[in-house]
Structure 1
Amino acid sequence: MSLFWRIFLLNGVVLVVAVVLLLLGPVTVSTPVLLTEAVVLTVGLAAMLIANAILLRIGLAPLARLTGTMGTIDLLRPGHRLPVTGRAGIAELIRTFNAMLDRLEAERATSAARALSAQEAERHRIAQELHDEIGQTLTAVLLDLKRVADYAPPPVRDDLHQVQETTRNSLDEIRRIARRLRPGVLDELGLTSALRALVAEFSTAGLTVHRHLDRDMPELGKDAELVVYRVAQEALTNAARHAHAHAVDLTLRPVDDGVELCVRDDGIGLGDAGEGAGIRGMRERALLIGADLALGAGPADGTEVCLRIPLRDRNT
């Protein structure tokens, strides 16, 4: 029975009961209406409305839960489904809503995978051009400056040495940017070495980073290793730029049926600020490999970011 007919028959039953009681009962209506008659009719009407409201509240309760879920659902936190309760139209509506969430999560995962794949390809291209084009050009400039400085008079030589130092710093900065865009050490030496290099980079930037990297790590695959690296990179960046942290603990270890990355800082914490593009990017990357990402307060204030990657059914 559809929702329309259920509500219609429900109201019809209440009205029929009221009419039957009025016809068969001892209650009569005089002209003009007596006070006792008005009181009886008012009480009967109130009882009818209360009974109708209670029955409708019970019947439409699943719709209220559905409305609340629709207002708070987040596709970056998948898996939440409503229990199929109620009858006929309501149960079918909840079932359809759950199926719609399945399609939306699958489509979002597919589109996010394409977008992130294109982003990584573009990062790789830019990093390659920075290294091959600009890096080689600045290297050639350094060699020319050295050659000119060898034949220049002392006053000019000092100025040329200063230009050399500035050019060398710019070359180092370009190489650092290229490594951040596409960590070559990740492809060449693996995840553990890439995380060591990442920690060393942030440690030299004024942040004290303590790393705890387990040596006996299971094989994750290239996609999962890249996600772990990017999440660690984003968490360290947030700790340095936004959390005003002084010390960070980075831990990578095997756990039951998976691998866990945890980054804890001693900063100001998340507070009431909403999730920015960086955190949402971490969630999207975690979804690509079926991982769970949890953010919250650390054991001693600050922020804790934990990424857990399952190893079951992993072929890449």
Structure 2
Amino acid sequence: MTLYWRIFLLNAAVFLAAILLLLGPVTVSTPVLLGEALVLLAGLVVMLIANAVLLRIGLAPLARLTRAMATADLLRPGGRAPVTGPGEIAELTRTFNAMLARLEAERATSSGRALSAQEAERHRLAQELHDEVGQTLTAVLLQLKHAADRAPQAVQVDLRQAQETTRDGLEEIRRIARRLRPGVLEELGLHSALRALTTEFTTSRLSATTHITPGLPSLDPATELVLYRIAQEGLTNTARHARATRAEVHLRPHRDGGVSLLVRDDGHGIGAAPEGAGISGMRERSLLIGADLTIGPGPQGGTDIRLHVLGSTADPRTQENPR
């Protein structure tokens, strides 16, 4: 029975019962007596309560579906509304769940294309920084050295200072190029790339360390890149916003044959702050490889970023060479 007919028959039954009572034992005098007025008032209250209760029961599946629609998040896939209620509400819920599944698949596909294009653009920029700007600054550095060796003593100090400034600029260009394109990941593997990453983020105010558990399964290049980028984004957020003194990156095998990545700091945590573009980017990357990403407070404060790569992505039978 459709929702329309359920509500219609409910109200028809209530009004029919009222008419039968008025035609039968219940009568109304003119003027209305106090006892009759009380009976009518009690009947009205009973009718309203019955309508309210039955309508709430009948429309409860719609309320659940509304909550599911309001809380649906394509960056947290898998959530579905329970299929309950009469025929048309159940069909509406099934249609919504199917639409949500299609949107999640389309979002994952479009995010994959966008992130692939982003990585290609990063590769191009890193190459141009290294080949064009880096070589130009190297040539300037050599020219300054040549000029400083032949300049008068009064000018040499300024030229040496210009050399140091140019050398610092060249190191900054190389550092930016390494962040844009992790060459160490391609050349030496994920283990060395994570260790180099934490070394890069270690400063006088932040101590970053890497802890890698032996026995990790082999990973495909796309999974390694996602692990590296999420660790990089987590350390970047720690250095910029957490006011932390210690950060740790843990990479360990999971009991289901997959891999777990943990980025932990001792900062002030994220609290109730809304998720920014960095965290959204991490969620999109985790969707590319079907991994589970959770971000929350650590056991002793700070923030924990956990990424679980399922066993179907990593083959536990092949051990990765810790390059």
- Classify the TM-score, shorter chain: over 0.9
Give the corresponding residue for 1:154.
153
Counterpart Cα distance in 1 of 2:204 and 2:95: 52
TM-score by length of 2: 0.94
For residues 22-74 of structure 1, what are the alpha-carbon distances to aligned partners after superposition, in whole Å with 9 as ceiling and x for unaligned?
22x31111222222111111111111111111111111111111112222222
Q: Which residue matches 1:97?
A: 96
Paired residue secondary structure (2:185): helix
- Superposition deviation, residue 165 in structure 1: 0.9
Does 1:300 find its partner at 2:300? Answer: yes
In structure 2, the partner of 1:170 is 169
Deviating beyond 4 angstroms after TM superposition, the runs of 4 or more aligned structure 1 residues are: none
Name the CA distance, whole Å, in 2 between partners of 1:98 and 1:63.
Answer: 14
- Structure 1, 303-312 or 155-164: larger mean CA deviation: 155-164
How far apart in 2 are the matches of 1:288 and 1:176?
27
Q: By how many angstroms is 1:313 displaced?
A: 5.4
- Listed as ranges, the gaps of 5+ residues in structure 1 are none
Q: Contact 2:217–2:314 at 8 Å: present in 1 too?
A: no
Residue of structure 2 in register with 1:291 after alignment: 291
Contact 1:211 1:251 in 2 (8 A): yes
| TM-score normalised by the chain length of structure 1 | 0.96
Aligned 8 A contact 1:235 1:305 in 2: yes
Q: Which residue of structure 1 lines up, in the alignment, with residue 319 of structure 2?
A: none
- Aligned-residue offset at 1:21: 2.5
| Partner Cα separation in structure 2 for residue 187 and residue 208 of structure 1 | 25
> 5-14 or 93-102: which moved more?
5-14
| Equivalent position SS for 1:312 | coil
Which residue is 1:58 aligned to? Answer: 57
Give the share of equivalent positions with the same residue, in percent: 68
- Contact 1:220 / 1:311 at 8 angstroms: preserved in 2? no
1:256, distance to aligned residue in structure 2 (A): 1.6
Report the CA distance between 1:196 and its aligned residue: 0.7
Residues 195, 209 of structure 2: 8 Å contact kept: no
For 2:174 and 2:164, the matched residues in 1 are separated by 15
Query: 1-side partners of 2:19 and 2:314: how far apart?
Result: 68
How far off its partner does 1:2 sit? 2.3
Q: 1:209–1:249: 8 Å Cα contact kept in structure 2?
A: yes
Higher relative contact order (CA 8 A, sep 6+): 2
Q: Could you give the per-residue CA deviations for residues 116-155 of structure 1, whole angstroms, max 9, x where no partner exists?
A: 1111111111111000100011111111112222221222
3-state SS, counterpart of residue 216 of structure 2: coil
Cα distance in 1, alignment partners of residues 126 and 205 from structure 2: 25
